[in-house]
């Protein structure tokens, strides 16, 4: 017991020297959460011969332990960690006065006659040593707020569970070698499930199966399941209409429901599923097919792109993706590229086109963005500048001139506003500078350039741009960039970055102007 007594004395010293505020400070947690929790106890795991011996030892040292109750959460953690199924762990609690005369306890997990490997490992690693905060009024909103505060402080989920013997839900968190327990009276199933799904192993496994999600959504798009469900068809009728095995179809649809694409058990479309309808206003149907098709195949060779710095798409298909899709219009690449149409409505809102007479959309695909601007700005004349294979497949519309060409060698002159929507991220820096210099040499000095791209955050803030940056590496050979990166490239080409505006789907609109005479 000598080692255990040293451990107990150390925890007793910690409890007596701290209160709720100081515990929060040690973990870097926002002190405002002190209104919703209090320092409840410090805990250690010890290895007595018997629980009775431990109780006698505690009383000799001035502690008054209560009745031992079975542990559930720590017992299960130890069993999983060491591969046992039959160990018994008891919990004893004894009152201790914390700093400021606030009531607190020491919690002791006792594993009598422990297997030697567990005792040696746990004495060395102290996996179960922790301090605990009791949630004062546990409810879903308070628990969500507390776990968010802990996440912002850099604590990561480290297991948890419900102990029916004491009717409490516990959530464990870790920050380096420190462990914190959040205790809530009662059974909080939703909070516990959410917490356990945030554990590193669960999260990594979910990420590793992301390819399954891609294919499930792509197959749903291929079979047009969303269209059938929108018509009110039963799963039996959908199976007949799609020529699929009904049982297999049900299994796919259950998986889609778990992803939030469908709503079970009767299978209805959710807001996500509605986007897979071919007749949806902002349909992502074509994009789902593309991401589950050619891009999916090339992403399987991401290692090639990382090792060589060259896109794996050309490695897989033998040519750059622009040439590949130009030869295969049936794959719907241009239609898929227009799928992010939810950003288009915002462009005319964040930029004032009222003084523009001619808007030139450079490499504008099927003209979806330009068409929207023409719809909301009836005084504007549009010029859609694209590759000949794209222009040849488009219908002409009023107030829009279709011009075929290559923007790396020149662009139409005389525009008031030039658009580069999701173009620069397709190219490396040298090619981008060439494109921008072509624009600077063709644009009137009072014209404006609008660039629409996803911006990489300067820090690690969440953004779709990180994923798309790897996508560009793998499938296109380009890259996403930070605001400063674009600012530098624009300056080198003779532009100044005048303003930026946020758009949906983590896009941004960068507004640039000619900075100096550009005839060099």
Residue 425 appears among annotated catalytic residues: yes
Beta strands in 156-300 (DSSP E): 156-163, 168-175, 178-185, 262-263, 268-269
Residue 253, both tokens: 């649809």
SS (H, E, C) 10-73: HHHHHHHHCCHHHHHHHHCCCHHHHHCEEEEEEEEEECCCCHHHHHHHHHHCCCCCCCCEECCH
**Which residues, listed in sequence order, are joined to residue 93 by a DSSP beta bridge?**
107
Q: Give backbone dihedrals phi and psi of 401, rounded to 5 degrees, phi first.
A: -95, 130
Task: State the catalytic residue, choosing from 379, 425, 485, 518.
Answer: 425
Please list, in sequence order, all residues whose beta carbon lies within 8 angstroms of the beta carbon of residue 301, skipping any fewer than 6 positions away: 312, 315, 316, 474
Q: Name every residue whose Cβ is closer than 8 Å to that of residue 190 and which is 6 or more positions away in sequence.
A: 140
Helix (H, G, I), strand (E, B) or coil at 411: coil
Which residues are within 8 A (CB) of 243 and not within 5 positions of it... i.e. 6 or more apart? none
Identify the CA nearest to 483 among candidates 464, 497, 467. Answer: 497
Bridge partners of 42, per DSSP, are 106, 131
Angle at 98 between CA 96 and CA 102, to 5 degrees: 100
Q: Nearest Cα to 320, choosing from 426, 468, 465, 454?
A: 426
DSSP per residue, 239-256: HHHHT--HHHHHHHHHHH
Catalytic residues: 425
């Amino acid at each position: 017991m000598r080692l255990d007594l040293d451990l107990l004395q150390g925890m007793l010293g910690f409890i007596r020297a701290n209160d709720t505020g100081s515990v929060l400070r040690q973990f870097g947690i926002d002190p405002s959460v002190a209104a919703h929790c209090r320092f409840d106890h410090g805990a250690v795991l010890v290895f007595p011969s018997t629980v009775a011996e431990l109780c006698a030892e505690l009383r000799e040292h001035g502690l008054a332990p209560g009745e031992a109750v079975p542990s559930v959460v720590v017992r299960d953690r130890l069993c999983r960690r060491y591969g046992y199924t039959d160990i018994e762990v008891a919990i004893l609690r004894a009152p201790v006065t914390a700093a400021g005369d606030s009531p607190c306890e020491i919690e002791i997990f006792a594993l009598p006659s422990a297997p030697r490997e567990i005792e040696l490992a746990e004495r060395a690693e102290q996996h179960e040593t922790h301090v605990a905060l009791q949630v004062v009024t546990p409810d879903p909103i308070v628990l969500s707020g507390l776990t968010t505060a802990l996440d912002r402080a850099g604590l990561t989920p480290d297991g948890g569970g419900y102990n029916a013997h004491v009717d409490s839900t516990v959530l464990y968190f870790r920050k380096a070698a420190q462990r914190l327990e959040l205790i809530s009276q009662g059974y909080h199933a939703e909070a516990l499930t959410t917490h356990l799904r945030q554990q590193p192993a669960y999260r990594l496994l979910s990420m590793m199966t992301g390819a399954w999600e891609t294919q499930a959504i792509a197959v749903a798009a291929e079979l047009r399941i969303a269209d059938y469900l929108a018509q009110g068809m039963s799963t039996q009728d959908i199976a007949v209409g799609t020529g699929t095995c009904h049982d297999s179809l049900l299994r796919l649809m259950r998986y889609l429901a778990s992803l939030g694409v469908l709503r079970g058990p009767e299978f209805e479309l959710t807001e996500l599923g509605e986007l897979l309808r071919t007749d949806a206003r902002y349909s992502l149907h074509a994009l789902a097919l593309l991401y589950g098709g050619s891009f999916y195949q090339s992403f399987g060779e991401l290692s090639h792109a990382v090792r060589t710095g060259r896109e794996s798409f050309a490695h897989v298909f033998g040519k750059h993706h622009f040439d590949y899709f130009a030869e295969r219009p049936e794959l719907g690449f241009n239609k898929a590229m227009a799928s992010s149409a939810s950003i288009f409505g915002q462009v005319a809102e964040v930029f004032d086109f009222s003084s523009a007479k001619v808007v030139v959309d450079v490499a504008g695909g099927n003209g979806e963005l330009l068409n929207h601007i023409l719809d909301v700005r009836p005084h504007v004349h549009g010029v859609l500048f694209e590759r000949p294979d794209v222009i040849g497949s488009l219908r002409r519309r009023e107030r829009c001139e279709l011009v075929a060409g290559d923007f790396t060698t020149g662009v139409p002159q005389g525009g008031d506003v030039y658009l580069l929507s999701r173009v620069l991220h397709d190219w490396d820096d040298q090619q981008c500078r060439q494109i921008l210099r072509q624009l600077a040499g063709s644009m009137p000095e009072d014209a404006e350039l609008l660039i629409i791209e996803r911006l990489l955050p300067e820090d690690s803030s969440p953004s779709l741009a990180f994923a798309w940056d790897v996508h560009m590496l793998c499938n296109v050979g380009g890259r996403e960039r930070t605001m400063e990166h674009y600012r530098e490239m624009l300056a080198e080409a003779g532009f100044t970055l005048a303003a930026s505006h946020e758009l949906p789907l983590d896009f941004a609109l960068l507004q640039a102007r000619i900075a100096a005479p550009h005839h060099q």
